[in-house]
Amino acid sequence: MAAAASAAAVTVRQAQALGFDEPGIKITFPASGLSDDTLRFMQQIGVRWITAGGPNSPTYNERGQVTLRDGDTNTDRGSWKDEELRAMTDRAESFGLKIGNLMLHDFRDVILGRERRDQQIEQVIESVRAAGRVGIPVVEYNWYALRAMEGYYTQIGRGGTVLSAHDYDRSRDLPVIPEVGEHPADALWQRYEYFLKAVMPEAEAAGVYMAVHPNDPPPPMYRGCAQILGTVGGLRRLVTIVPSQYNGITFDTGVTTEMGEDAVEVARWFGSRRQINHIHFRNVIREVPREKYTETFIDVGQADMLGVLRVLKEVGYDRLLHPDHAPRFPDDEGRKAGWGYAIGYMKGLMRSL
The letter for the amino acid at 18 is: L
pTM of the model: 0.93
In the chain the first and final C-alpha atoms are separated, in Å, by: 22
State whether the Cα torsion 222-210-262-31 is positive or negative: negative
- Rg from Cα positions in the chain: 19
Q: Which pLDDT score, from 0 to 100, does residue 14 have?
A: 52
Taking a C-beta distance cutoff of 8 angstroms, is the pair 66, 58 a contact? yes
Low-confidence ranges of the chain (pLDDT < 50): 1-12
- Tell me whether residue 9 is in a domain: no
Q: Which pLDDT score, from 0 to 100, does residue 33 have?
A: 87
Number of domains in the chain: 1
Nearest residue to 279 (alpha-carbon basis) of 308, 252, 258: 252
Alpha carbons 99 and 93: distance in angstroms, whole number: 8
Q: Which pLDDT score, from 0 to 100, does residue 76 have?
A: 58
Helix axes 82-94 and 117-134, enclosed angle (nearest 10): 40
- Tell me whether residue 243 is in a domain: yes
- Tell me whether residue 2 is in a domain: no
Report how many helices (DSSP H) and strands (DSSP E) the chain contains, helices first.
Answer: 11, 16
Q: Which pLDDT score, from 0 to 100, does residue 7 have?
A: 39
Helix axes 263-272 and 305-315, enclosed angle (nearest 10): 10
Alpha carbons 53 and 105: distance in angstroms, whole number: 8
- Tell me whether residue 83 is in a domain: yes
- Tell me whether residue 273 is in a domain: yes
SS3 139: strand
- Tell me whether residue 15 is in a domain: no
Q: Which pLDDT score, from 0 to 100, does residue 67 have?
A: 82
- Tell me whether residue 327 is in a domain: yes
Q: E strands within 69-145?
A: 98-103, 138-141
- Tell me whether residue 222 is in a domain: yes
Nearest residue to 282 (alpha-carbon basis) of 316, 319, 251: 251
Query: Which CATH number belongs to the domain containing residue 278 in this structure?
Result: 3.20.20.150
Residue 177 belongs to domain spanning: 22-351
Q: Which pLDDT score, from 0 to 100, does residue 71 have?
A: 54
Taking a C-beta distance cutoff of 8 angstroms, is the pair 253, 308 a contact? yes
Report the run of H or E that residue 22 belongs to, with start and end: none
CA dihedral in degrees (171, 176, 182, 185; nearest 10)?
10
Q: How many other C-beta atoms can be found within 10 angstroms of the C-beta atom of residue 287?
A: 13
Q: In Å, what is the CA distance from 220 to each residue of 70, 171, 214, 314?
A: 31, 11, 12, 33
